[in-house]
């Protein structure tokens, strides 16, 4: 075996996760016309954005406060203490509209679309026939015959259109000119009520409302990529009106100490919220990543992946899961991890042993005063309290070249202001949406 490729058992995958440890690389991102700029791109630049990644073939702002001024940890303080504005237009909006919209959506998601009321949203997953997770969007039902898929990082529109080539549901499937921003943090409720009135203050979790911000039509949801109180503002005709809406939020935010920041991965990790491409991908079963509740036991209608997922559940119950790793939460030693990890850091069962797993999403939690992480570890070693050793790079290791101790712990790492469905079901001892 190539010495650069660690010996983690990935024999259950067709395409193994790249576990080469390349570390930070001095590469400048090329900004050109092959990848789309969102309507808020220039506005993010005006707020000091200094780095970006690519998400859904769009440039995605990923840092505003310079490293020398505290970087992402300063942005985090604004999120947990005040209110923040995020450019998340990369969450492309795919509209499914027509007489068969509900039936089509019910066929492509695992949960029961018939139980989603109009002007409500749900966190959902879509799987392929092999049971692998294709996408985990927020699904908005904006009318009896219209749904919007607010995408995570895969081009799901092509999948949806491809499915319907053969199935021929009476629907249109297309991307629409709607671009979201997120308003997140404890003061978000006050900011939203300033913008749209008291209805915004009383909007329930995963509720939707129509409003105007900056004089233009929006849909607002009480959702977001954190465990904090938060909202998303979906601007219609965003190519035309991005500046008006964005500036209206900025102006209203002055009274609440608003800061424009990048998505807070440290807070979503603490809440146990997954990131597609980091924590899961096309070859990951929902059962591997704490999404068992997304595989209903009582949904009678057929959906893509249903037969395979039910088979996998039976194998799990029988004690023979068809996968090698399970996603767990880890408390990790070492120095504070205060920025994105450039690699999937390796996990061993002993301090000098061969790697058996890998960290997907690490960060430092100021509240816990410890590094927290999601990691894939062997299924048989996923019990709470199990000890592991993580090979951190030099900036974070206690001793360069020496692994640090880690322990499997409960997720979420700290309570959420807005508990997601998985958290709520777990409180009642349930593992599946019905």
What CATH number labels 1-30+324-433? 2.40.30.110
What CATH number labels 178-256? 3.30.1360.120
User: Which CA distances in Å does 141 have to 39, 101, 113, 117?
Assistant: 24, 10, 9, 7
The b-or-e profile of 307-346 (16+ CB within 10 A means b, else e) is ebbeebbeebeeeebebbbbbbbbbbbbeebbbbbebbbb
pLDDT at position 420: 60
pLDDT at position 2: 44
Q: What sections of 69-113 are H helices per DSSP?
A: 71-81, 101-108
Question: Helix axis angle, 101-108 relative to 156-167, nearest 10°?
Answer: 110
Is-above-0.75 flag for pTM? yes
**Residues 90 and 58 sit within 8 Å (Cβ to Cβ):** yes
Say whether 129 counts as a known binding-site residue. Answer: no
> In degrees rounded to 5, what are phi and psi of residue 113?
-70, -25
CATH 2.40.30.110 in the chain: give the residue spans: 1-30+324-433
CATH 3.30.1360.120 in the chain: give the residue spans: 178-256
**Max intra-chain CA distance, the chain:** 62
> DSSP readout, 333-362?
-SS---S--SS--EEESSTTSPEEEEEEEE
* DSSP-derived secondary structure letter, 256: G
Q: In the chain, which residues have pLDDT < 50?
A: 1-3, 433-434
**Residues 110 and 126 sit within 8 Å (Cβ to Cβ):** yes
Going by their DSSP bridges, the two strands 404-409 and 216-221 should be labelled as unpaired
Question: pLDDT tens across 104-130, in order?
Answer: 999 999 999 999 999 999 999 999 999
Reported residue count of the chain is 434
**Residues 211 and 200 sit within 8 Å (Cβ to Cβ):** yes
41 C-beta neighbours (distance < 10 Å), count:
20
Question: Helix axis angle, 188-196 relative to 238-253, nearest 10°?
Answer: 120
pLDDT at position 12: 94
Question: pLDDT tens across 124-181, in order?
Answer: 999 999 999 999 999 999 999 999 999 999 999 999 999 999 999 999 999 999 999 9
């Amino acid at each position: 075996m190539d010495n650069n490729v660690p010996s983690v058992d990935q024999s259950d995958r067709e395409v193994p996760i790249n576990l080469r440890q390349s570390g930070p690389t001095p590469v400048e991102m090329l900004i050109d016309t092959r990848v789309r700029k969102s309507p808020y791109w220039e506005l993010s630049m005006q707020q000091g954005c200094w780095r970006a990644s690519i998400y859904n073939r769009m440039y995605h702002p990923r840092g505003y406060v310079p490293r020398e001024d505290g970087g992402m940890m300063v942005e985090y303080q604004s999120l947990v203490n005040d209110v923040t504005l995020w450019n998340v237009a990369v969450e492309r909006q795919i509209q499914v509209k027509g007489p068969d919209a509900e039936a089509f959506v019910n066929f492509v998601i695992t949960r029961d679309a018939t139980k989603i009321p109009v002007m409500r949203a749900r966190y959902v997953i879509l799987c392929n026939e092999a049971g692998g997770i294709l996408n985990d969007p927020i699904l908005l039902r904006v009318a009896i015959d219209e749904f919007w898929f607010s995408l995570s990082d895969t081009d799901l529109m092509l999948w949806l259109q491809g499915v319907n080539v053969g199935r021929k549901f009476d629907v249109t499937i297309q991307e629409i000119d709607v671009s979201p921003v997120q308003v997140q943090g404890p003061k978000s409720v006050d900011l939203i009520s300033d913008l749209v009135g008291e209805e915004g203050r009383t909007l329930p979790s995963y509720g939707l409302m129509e409003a105007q911000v900056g004089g233009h039509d929006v849909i607002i949801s009480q959702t977001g990529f954190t465990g904090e109180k938060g909202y998303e503002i979906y601007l219609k005709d965003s190519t035309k009106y991005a500046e008006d809406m964005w500036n209206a939020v900025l102006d209203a935010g002055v009274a609440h100490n608003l800061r424009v920041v990048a998505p807070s991965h440290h807070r979503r990790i603490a809440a146990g919220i997954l990131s597609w491409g980091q924590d899961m991908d096309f070859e990951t079963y929902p059962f591997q990543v704490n999404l068992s509740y997304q595989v209903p036991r009582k949904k009678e209608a057929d959906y893509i992946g249903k037969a395979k997922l039910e088979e996998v559940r039976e194998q799990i119950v029988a004690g023979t899961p068809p996968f090698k790793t399970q996603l767990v939460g880890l408390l990790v030693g070492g120095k504070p991890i205060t920025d994105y990890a450039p690699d999937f850091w390796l996990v061993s069962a002993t301090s000098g042993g061969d790697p058996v797993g890998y960290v997907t999403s690490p960060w430092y939690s100021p509240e816990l005063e410890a590094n927290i992480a999601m990691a894939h570890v062997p299924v048989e070693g996923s019990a709470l309290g199990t000890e592991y050793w993580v090979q951190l790079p030099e900036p974070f290791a206690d001793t360069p070249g020496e692994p640090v101790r880690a322990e499997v712990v409960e997720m979420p790492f700290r309570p959420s202001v807005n508990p997601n469905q998985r958290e709520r079901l777990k409180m009642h001892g349930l593992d599946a949406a019905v």
